[in-house]
Amino acid sequence: MSAYFLSMDYSKESQSKKQKCRSGENHPRDDMASLPREVSLDIISRLPITSLMRFRSVCKSWHNLSHDHQLVHLHLSRTSNDNPCLIFHCNYPIRNWLYFVLLSGHDDDDEQVVRRIDPPFAASMSDFNVVGSCAGLLCLSDSLFHSSLFIYNPFTGNHKELPKSITFQHREQRVVSGFGFHSISKQYKVVKIVYYATDPRYYRPSGRVGTHCFNQSDVQVLSLDSTNWRSIGEAPYWLEFGSTGVLVNGRLHWLRRNAGYYLDGSIASFDLAEERFQDIPKPYFGEIISLMVLQGCLSGVTFNNRCFKIWVMKEYERKESWVKQFTIESSLMPRFSYPKLPYKLWKDVLCIPVVRVLCLMKNGELLIQCKGVGLIAYNPQSGVFRHLDFPGLPNIFLTIVHLASLNWIDIAI
């Protein structure tokens, strides 16, 4: 459980209510027990995740109820994709801290305060990356070779250490990863694609900089209900190094690179059930620079003529269904200044896309992160930008859109 929940202060009134509950007066269990089970689950499933964490601490029966499969499903189905939880993975000034904020759609809501999360396994994996978020679960891996992994629900504290992945002895490696769930196979899977150089002395020219030629690859897959990773052969594509998969329709999606290691705007997908790669048709105009999910659809950002254009694939795998849904003039976007960074952190910053569209919120605004240093909300109707300044947010961060849920890892959604 996060430090926020462990250190939560209750008011005198709530303390008084707790004492009455202990003494048997007006105990909430009595009222809940008098209701049909279906009605009780329906009521409880509408609570926000922070209230559910308090709820499960009232008594043993309520604690057991929080693990009920039906409640987990109901709560997850009602968790809004429009105003989600945001997880911040921060690299500066303190490396590898996680924070969260619950978006409510109201600027003055008390919940819009950044709070820190303390993973219970931080001592054994202090330097980590976020592989992905799926149905309320985070997948975290060690930053060096991505061989140590944990699945973690930051709100319940529930976590699971995964088996070590297959490792290679080659010094120079690049990793592409992803984490997702397939609704038909009912399995969570982690995918790890390792590119490595058999001869690290050989360089391939790439613009003005020479890069190692990663001439071999290996695709590894792990089901969360399995104890062993499986190697399924080489990857048919060069994918964007360091990227994590975007989950849509039971497939993970990445941007492809060409032979010169530059993004070419093409999209590759990996089916989590069939465990095979497929091409996804891209929009007719522009090269995609980042991928995301908007209202359940695969979406991408292109940049040309000084405008960011957001495309949405309304019908999955149908090229004609790509629609240019939003256009944002880059000159109108707020400017953010970078803090003075140690040299070793600049490599991480340069890998962050200039613009990452995170989600479309319930109030119709687009939530956008700019180069890892600022969050803005954009109203497409009025063309107005709103800078989101959360108290306690560090200087540099990667934002992950997350569904705050009761998911207990072993429950198939």
Backbone angles phi, psi at 259, to 5 degrees: -65, -25
Residue 167 · residue 160 · CB < 8 Å? no
pLDDT of residue 341: 63
Q: CA geometry: angle at 238 spanning 360 and 220, to 5°?
A: 85
Give the closest residue to 166 by CA, choosing from 188, 152, 149, 187: 149
pLDDT tens per residue across span 68-107? 888 888 888 888 666 678 999 986 666 678 999 887 655 4
- The mean pLDDT of 210-230, rounded to a whole number, is 84
Are the beta carbons of 408 and 52 closer than 8 angstroms? no
- CA atoms of 399 and 174, how far apart (whole Å): 22
Could you tell me the pTM of the whole model?
Answer: 0.84
Residues 313-335 pLDDT 10s: 999 999 999 999 999 998 888 88
pLDDT beyond 70 at 190: yes
Q: Average pLDDT of 368-374?
A: 82
Distances (CA, A) of 312 to 25, 266, 282, 290, 321: 55, 15, 10, 12, 8
Please, what is the average pLDDT of the chain? 80
Work out whether strand 137-142 and strand 128-134 pair parallel, antiparallel, or are unpaired.
Answer: antiparallel
Maximum Cα interatomic distance, the chain, rounded to a whole number of Å: 76
Distance of CA 251 to CAs 137, 183, 298, 316, Å?
Answer: 17, 10, 10, 11
What local confidence, expressed as pLDDT, does residue 11 receive? Answer: 38
Domains of the chain: 3-78 (no CATH), 85-402 (2.120.10.80)
**Cα dist from 274 to 221, 252, 262, 269, 278, whole Å:** 12, 12, 29, 11, 11
Distances (CA, A) of 219 to 71, 192, 235, 340, 386: 36, 6, 6, 38, 42
3-state helix, strand, coil in the chain (%, to 5): 15, 40, 45
Percent residues over pLDDT 90 in the chain = 34
Residue 152 has a pLDDT of 95
Q: What are 346-355's pLDDT values in tens digits?
A: 555 556 667 8
* pLDDT at residue 408 in the model: 86
- pLDDT at residue 262, rounded to an integer: 67
Average pLDDT value for residue range 115-132: 87
Rounded to an integer, the average pLDDT of 365-371 is: 89
User: Tell me, what's the pLDDT at 20?
Assistant: 46
- pLDDT at residue 44 greater than cutoff 90: no
On whether the CB atoms of residues 182 and 189 are closer than 8 A, the answer is yes
Say whether pLDDT at 197 is over 50.
yes
- Is the pLDDT confidence value at 387 over 60? yes
- Whether residue 65 contacts residue 57, with contact meaning beta carbons closer than 8 Å, is answered with no
- d(C-alpha 350, C-alpha 43), whole Å: 46
pLDDT reported for residue 352: 66
Looking at residue 259, its amino acid is A
Q: Which of 169, 153, 98 is nearest to 128 (CA)?
A: 98
Residue 177 has pLDDT above 60, yes or no: yes
Contacts for 63-68 with beta carbons within 8 Å, 24 or more apart? 65/40, 66/406, 67/406, 67/408, 68/41
Q: Side chain identity at 389, as an amino acid letter?
A: D
Q: What is the pLDDT of residue 140?
A: 94
> At 357, is the pLDDT very low, low, confident or very high (cuts 50, 70, 90)?
very high
Residue 192 has pLDDT above 50, yes or no: yes
Phi-psi region of 115 (alpha: psi -120 to 50; beta: other; left: phi over 0): beta
Whether 371 and 356 have beta carbons less than 8 Å apart is answered as no
Q: Is the pLDDT of residue 196 over 90?
A: no
- Strands ordered across the beta sheet of 149-152: 128-134, 137-142, 149-152, 159-161
Instruction: Indicate the DSSP class of residue 281.
Output: P
Residue 95 has a pLDDT of 61
Of 177-186, 284-293, 295-304, the poorest mean pLDDT is in 284-293
